Structure 1
Amino acid sequence: MFESHTGVRDLSSSELAFRSIFENAAEGIFQTDLAGRYIRANYSLAKIYGYESPEALIQDQPNAKAGLYVEPQRRQEFITLMAEQDTLTDFESAIYRRDRSIIWISETCRVVRDQQGQVQYYEGFVRDITQQRLAMDQLKSTEARLQQRNQELAEALSQLQNTQRELVHSEKMAALGQLVAGVAHEINTPLGAIRSSIETIDLFAQRTLPTLPDVLRNLSPELFAAFTSLRQSCLQDTLQLSSRERRQHKRRMTPILDELGLENADGWADTLIDIGVLGDLTPFLPLLQAPTGLEVIELAHQLALLERSTHTITTAIERAAKVVFALKTYARFDQSGQKVVAQVTDGIETVLTLYHNKLKHGVEVIREYEPVPLIPCYPDELTQVWTNLVHNALQAMDERGRLQIQVKNQPQAIAIQITDSGPGIPDAVMPRIFEPFFTTKPIGEGNGLGLDIVRKIVDKHQGTINVNSRPGETTFTITLPVQESVGHA
């Protein structure tokens, strides 16, 4: 195009301008024949495809050799659409780079015909959209997991409501009734965190994500390196900073930002702290001084909020899943009538999880678990034992004090001790605490069957239950055999 029959010719100013645009364009530019062979390609296209030069790309001809598209049928779809409409806009495909790594590209192309209307070649532009696709895929994956978890939570709440109706006249229902508000709160809290985080992610997808490619493409290598360093700072958890620590970092940063002539240096100091910049500002001075630097810093801030929201969703889902698992374990009822081998501490932890809302505000829970063997038992019934004892301990302490749970090994048995720091059981009441229908609670708060049920369940396991009480310390001790007695059904 630029050479004469003698081999070299002087280029006109228009040709020079065209060549400059072609060679220096930020987007990949190409011309291919009908077989997919590259006739021309610029440096940006070669770089996108992983080649060191356009000549290397043209020599390799990955498109013509059917080695470009991850899904080969996309090449045929490209040809079909071009034949039908002569132009193609934002045709997205996954392709192999030279090193066989996979990226996503978007092609905008047109057909070039001769004067007789015959197709001569294709030409167009290529953009690397890998980051946008990854961000969208991550967003879709997060939303899918959220919908699944929300469905599980809805099913768990439905199961809880059914359990309430079925057990309304039983002692288990009396204990469960005390838990309902706390369980609902324990589920609503992570749901609220998830909802807030999803709103943040949705705003990022609508407002920030579309501008991401343009902002990054226009960064110089120096500014891109500063941006990358800034992104690394986002990994720091600044949410754990106290107000005093934030003020200290802010007092140190603000004068530096003022010296740079930044408007609202106080606000930018807050933004940098939110991102995670707590140390030396020197690596980020190029960004702070660049004309578009503040825009890039705000982009890093939005990405930090995105990562923080994703972390919040993960933490909230784990917390909700733990509550749901405990709730399912508690509500399960084994009608087989057969003992199974189980770990005693699992049932205790299920009860503590369900009572977490009552425990977290004023009760210090002390766990002292020795490694103990699995035992043959009725896990659902033992869960009822731990529920009644923990519930009674909380009422005795008025939900303020210390709850100590010890699990110890004994010869051929496991001992479980539940101790509260309440006022203790009066001597006059002690002999009657295991009697059916005996209660010291106000009317409507108990029917006197709780400890009677506990004693019967322990007897069914061929265990023992004892109580020692004095002001400030009441301990229920339950022993359960490690092995089932011969002839026991």
Structure 2
Amino acid sequence: MPINGSPTGSSPSPKTERLYIEEQYRSLFENAPDGIFQTDFEGRYLRVNLALTRIYGYSSTAALLAAQPNLSGQLYVDTSRRDEFVALMSCQDVVQDFESQIYRHDGSTIWIAETCRAVRDEQGQLLYYEGFVRDISDRKCVEDERKRAEIECKGMQADWERTAAALLQSESRNRAMLAAIPDLMFQVNSQGIYTDYLNKDPKADLLPTDFQPLGQHLSEHLPIEVAQRHLHHLRQALSTGQTQVYEQQFQFHGKAHSEEVRVVQSGESEALFMIRDISERKQAEQALLQKHQELMDTLAQLQQAKQAAEVANQAKSAFLANMSHELRTPLNGILGYTQVLMRDRTCTPKQLDGVRTIHQCGSHLLTLINDILDLSKIEAQKIELTPQEFHLGAFLEDVASICLIRAEQKRLQFIYKPVGTLPEGVRADEKRLRQILLNLLSNAVKFTVQGQVTFRVTGLQQADTWIEDEAVDAERTPLYRLRFEVIDSGIGIDADQLVRVFQPFEQVGDYARRAEGTGLGLTITQRLVALMGGTLQVESQPEQGSRFWFEIDLPGHVGTLAPLLTGSSQDIIGYEGPRHTILVVDDRTDNRAVVLGLLEALNFRLIEAENGVEGLSKAVEYRPNLIIADLVMPIMDGFEMTRRLRKLEGFERIPIIASSASVFEFDRQRSQQAGYDDFLPKPIQAEELLNKLAIYLNLVWVREQALEKPTETTDFSVNPAEIVMPPVAELQDLFAATQIGHIERIIREANRIKALGTSFAPFADQVLFLADQFDDVAIAQLLEPYFS
């Protein structure tokens, strides 16, 4: 048979045969449905057919050969697939059906399967690579669909299995719940015929254990009224489809029973009854209601008792407030004048002894009044602390100095021992802390016959805590823990009586050895310590002594500390600087006289007013540096006077101190709201009065011990040329004192003038020398040339 239909039928020549084969190969190459390629060693396309061009999305084979996407890295979506393909070809000469996803020329992606082989010469040298590329995107889509279908089938199967398991579990759970329900359950049709019945715990007194009502009517086994009630709610459940819940009580076999019934539609013409015996619950509810009523009756009685107690307490508070005011008012005159007389050097020693006795008795009476008031406030929970910053060291020394005098009077050794590092200043209620310490120290001195009393204050540590203190502009303030101890070698206390020492009106020990007092001191002290955050503790042995101590945390000071008047005020004879004017407003003459008596010898200019209206007028007229005003006065009280003063120009910052015999916190708060700067309780104490003046007028006191008078043995002589006379204005009060022969006043004026400057010291010393000789005439002659 001729090749290619040769007409001659003769055998073709070799050349003709080669051409024929090439033509056949070219036809296969160009018309093959799969892409065919040849590449060099680096993968550069040498020849490609039209099918590959179409697969890759190029317009011609020339365009594909020019782009060489295989080399530019723009062919494979996952470039690692090309690396894997190259690795396989390097290990073996043939790779078949290597699948990968590629980018077509337009950026779309398709899946292909590549088959490639290495073509070598007779010596095995690599000539080139050739292979086929088939577009398998449709097959991949089918595979993906199949995989998705398999996944969906598996998911549906898993859902079915889960649903089946859930149904089984639900059925098991319902079965278990049904088995666990102790209620009587039965099912009836619309005619009231039992169709099913379950009784987990049949009551012998209600139903027999072999009770089997199936096919029978409700009325055959239940009281007629119960059966009719069941039938009524059965019809309601079937007609509305809503669960019916009701309770019923009935007598059965002579006993009262209570049931809770639920009727639930369980089919088109059937309903399930669930009946629970609630007889015991109803009995418990009835008992609870009875107890509740009893409780309400008791609460009503307690409320009545509380109201009666509140009325009684208000009456007691009103009585105590009134009695406090009524007792303090005359005590202000008594104690005020005793302080004035004790400062008067014209009194004889015998007179001074009498004045001191009066003062001690009045002070004791005041202490009793204060103790009763404090206990009343504590019991009513109306006592409040008023913290302020003060110098701790000066405060403790002042407390110690007061008790030192009392101890020396009993010939006791008094020891004050600060231990460790104490803060310079603290923030606390200085008045209450002083009250606590003086109570403890006074008791120690009182109950110690011989030996010593030790007052020890220990700085334990600075606590690891800082507080935000609103009173000091919200600055962070350190806390200090301090321990206060009072140790004595006194009579001691029996162990079985230690608890009683803190009870009101109790004084333990033999009656003959008890001291005067109310027995309230330690009670008040214990509760004040508790208010400050501490606990008052005691240890004692009879005839060996006692130790009282407590620990409290106190904030340290921030800013400038206010001055504290320490020591006795009796040695104060004046103050440095210009003369100050003080307005005293009080409706009682004796109250005004007390303040004037305490201050007039100290070079203050004193103005009096007897009510608020007069106080306003004189304040505007004299422009005082400080005002001391009572709260309760006729015509216009101190509250209204102060409110009006604060609205006047120039009086916004003038210190105004309230002075009242009422010491209740309510009055203090009202005075602050009205515009008062501070509160001075009556009876007025000289030290407290002078301390407040020093704070608000920024005074530096002149004390007598710093200005010693010449002794009788001194040969005093002054060269007239060395005497420098003070201004005439400073000599007015001195000259007036010489005209009436008031030696005490002359001495005070001379000391005041001496404090004005060293240049006036020779003149003042000359006057002091003459005053010591009671030679008021010579002093008058010394001054007359300046007043003639």
The normalised TM-score by structure 2 is 0.22
Whichever structure has more strand as a proportion of its residues is 2
Whichever structure has more helix as a proportion of its residues is 1
Q: Which protein has greater RCO, CA pairs closer than 8 Å, 6+ apart?
A: 1
The normalised TM-score by structure 1 is 0.35
